[in-house]
A and B are shown apart, each in its own frame.
Chain A
């Protein structure tokens, strides 16, 4: 569904993503893991078509990502990105205007679950509430690919349960979900595959069940093994 071929992104002399090649298949929930600055967000932005690769290519169903793929790929950035003049209801209308797969009913249901009001101004939302709104607008789409960058950042425990439930509800054999998070244990309960990235390079993509059965290690154990020596982890 998403194919990354020798994908590279440089910022000056820094290689944020360095020759990443992998194929991500539908019907799976991938946990994208790595310490800060490992290139997870940059990879996701390129998959969302927001960032142009310096080298290599990224394909959605065999075609380079672009206008067409954006109809089917939902991306939630880790930073708040709503226009400051928007209310929570405006954000939903905006998505409804641009994405055919957006369901206003589902959005309103998600707002109720996240305890958000349509009249709230996006600029006055707390960071936790803004994070919930990002989840609600993104998950209200019935996109073939859903990429959530740090979906649990700044979110309290109860809302985290709601988000986890939403993500699991979204999983289907026709969809591909990619989540990045530092909360490895949290991700282990949701994902069935893991992508380990270190310093812009792909370390490995693993099926978690297979990893547990064959190697006898959990995702958290593998994470420690890969990044344990990396500075700042």
Chain B
């Protein structure tokens, strides 16, 4: 499995380097604008743009990692490059496991990296621009006043981030299954891609419905979010086993 994982990482490292490079540039612009704020006049606009860029790169980067993983699987099943993978003495559970693990690691490490970067940047921003702390408190009071039980503290934000990442991993695993069914069971049939897309939508909706069953009364926001994350991860696990079974029994490359 380790060697498969190594090559899965190797297949996708260029895209990750590009995401990291873009994030580094945006971060440098942000830090430059922040620390030159007083000496070089008003750089608030640059700070704002760089924050927007960082947020865009973080969200877009994590989404891109998932999409790229699905595209890599698609290529491995539908082009001659797949021979490199499927002629190795590894079974479908190992092959798909390595792909899902690589994707999960990338999504969670990427998410952790951007979360820590955001925490660092917010801290720096508050320390340099004291009045933002006041704005932050106002937002919190506003949400509380409207009865939104969203805890705007580090733990709450962390729970939300974990939930988003787990849901995204589940979405990627659903896309894996839809693509594998398309390549293994529907190959050559009419409306193959469309059926796979409908399947993706249906399985995603099913996940949403199952998650809805786990909203218990009286449970706090963080608890609900964490349970839903666990459901998403368990769902990803089920998608993995079904996908690997189909791959093992029906996929021809």
Chain A residues within 8 Å of B, Cβ to Cβ? 11-12, 45, 48-52, 66-68, 70-71, 75, 77, 79-85, 94, 97-99
Contact assessment for B252 and A67 in the assembled complex, using a CB-CB cutoff below 8 Å: no
Stretch from B87-95, B135-143, B145-153, B165-173 that touches the partner? B87-95
**A48-B249 Cα distance, complex, nearest whole Å:** 15
When C-beta atoms are compared, the residue in chain A nearest to B3 turns out to be A97
Contact of A67 with B84 at beta-carbon distance under 8 Å, contacts A51-B253, A85-B14, A98-B3 already known: no
Contact assessment for B84 and A52 in the assembled complex, using a CB-CB cutoff below 8 Å: no
Contact assessment for B88 and A70 in the assembled complex, using a CB-CB cutoff below 8 Å: yes
Contact assessment for A85 and B251 in the assembled complex, using a CB-CB cutoff below 8 Å: no
Which 4 interchain pairs have the tightest Cβ spacing? A51-B252, A81-B83, A81-B80, A70-B89
Contact assessment for A52 and B80 in the assembled complex, using a CB-CB cutoff below 8 Å: no
Residues of B within 8 A of A70 (CB): 87-89
When C-beta atoms are compared, the residue in chain B nearest to A53 turns out to be B252
**A221-B91 Cα distance, complex, nearest whole Å:** 44
When C-beta atoms are compared, the residue in chain B nearest to A91 turns out to be B84
**A152-B91 Cα distance, complex, nearest whole Å:** 31
User: Restricting to B1-56, which residues have a CB under 8 Å from any CB of A?
Assistant: 3, 6-7, 10-11, 14
Residues of A within 8 A of B251 (CB): 52
Contact assessment for B80 and A50 in the assembled complex, using a CB-CB cutoff below 8 Å: no
Partner of A85, one of B11, B90, B188: B11
Min C-beta distance of A131 to chain B, whole Å: 13
Residues of A within 8 A of B6 (CB): 97
Contact of A98 with B86 at beta-carbon distance under 8 Å, contacts A52-B252, A85-B11 already known: no
**A79-B79 Cα distance, complex, nearest whole Å:** 10
Most chain B beta-carbon contacts within 10 A, residue among A12, A51, A67, A77:
A67
- Total number of B residues with any Cβ neighbor in A under 8 Å: 23
27 A-B pairs within 8 Å (CB atoms) are namely A45-B252, A49-B86, A49-B87, A50-B83, A50-B86, A50-B252, A52-B250, A66-B91, A67-B89, A68-B89, A70-B87, A71-B89, A77-B80, A77-B83, A79-B80, A80-B80, A81-B80, A81-B82, A81-B83, A81-B84, A84-B81, A85-B11, A94-B84, A97-B7, A98-B90, A99-B88, A99-B89
Contact assessment for A82 and B89 in the assembled complex, using a CB-CB cutoff below 8 Å: no
Min C-beta distance of A56 to chain B, whole Å: 15
Contact assessment for B188 and A12 in the assembled complex, using a CB-CB cutoff below 8 Å: yes
Min C-beta distance of A83 to chain B, whole Å: 6
**A102-B81 Cα distance, complex, nearest whole Å:** 20
When C-beta atoms are compared, the residue in chain A nearest to B88 turns out to be A98
Residues of B within 8 A of A81 (CB): 80-84
**A81-B87 Cα distance, complex, nearest whole Å:** 11
User: Restricting to B185-216, which residues have a CB under 8 Å from any CB of A?
Assistant: 188
When C-beta atoms are compared, the residue in chain B nearest to A98 turns out to be B88
Min C-beta distance of A57 to chain B, whole Å: 14
**A71-B91 Cα distance, complex, nearest whole Å:** 12
Partner of B11, one of A66, A75, A79, A83: A83
Residues of B within 8 A of A79 (CB): 80
Contact assessment for B249 and A52 in the assembled complex, using a CB-CB cutoff below 8 Å: yes
When C-beta atoms are compared, the residue in chain B nearest to A71 turns out to be B89
Residues of A within 8 A of B82 (CB): 81
**A83-B88 Cα distance, complex, nearest whole Å:** 14
Residues of B within 8 A of A80 (CB): 80
Residues of B within 8 A of A48 (CB): 87
Min C-beta distance of B151 to chain A, whole Å: 44
When C-beta atoms are compared, the residue in chain B nearest to A75 turns out to be B87
> Contacts A45-B252, A67-B89, A68-B89 given; 6 further ones with Cβ under 8 A?
A52-B252, A70-B87, A84-B81, A94-B7, A94-B84, A99-B89
Residues of B within 8 A of A77 (CB): 80, 83
Min C-beta distance of A154 to chain B, whole Å: 15
Most chain B beta-carbon contacts within 10 A, residue among A77, A81, A94, A97:
A81
Residues of B within 8 A of A52 (CB): 249-252
**A84-B14 Cα distance, complex, nearest whole Å:** 12
**A63-B89 Cα distance, complex, nearest whole Å:** 15
User: Restricting to B63-91, which residues have a CB under 8 Å from any CB of A?
Assistant: 80-84, 86-91
**A76-B33 Cα distance, complex, nearest whole Å:** 57
Min C-beta distance of A141 to chain B, whole Å: 11
**A49-B80 Cα distance, complex, nearest whole Å:** 14
Q: Write out, one digit per residue, whether chain B residues 86-109 have a CB within 8 A of any chain A CB (1) or not (0).
A: 111111000000000000000000
Min C-beta distance of B110 to chain A, whole Å: 20
Min C-beta distance of A78 to chain B, whole Å: 10
Min C-beta distance of A53 to chain B, whole Å: 9
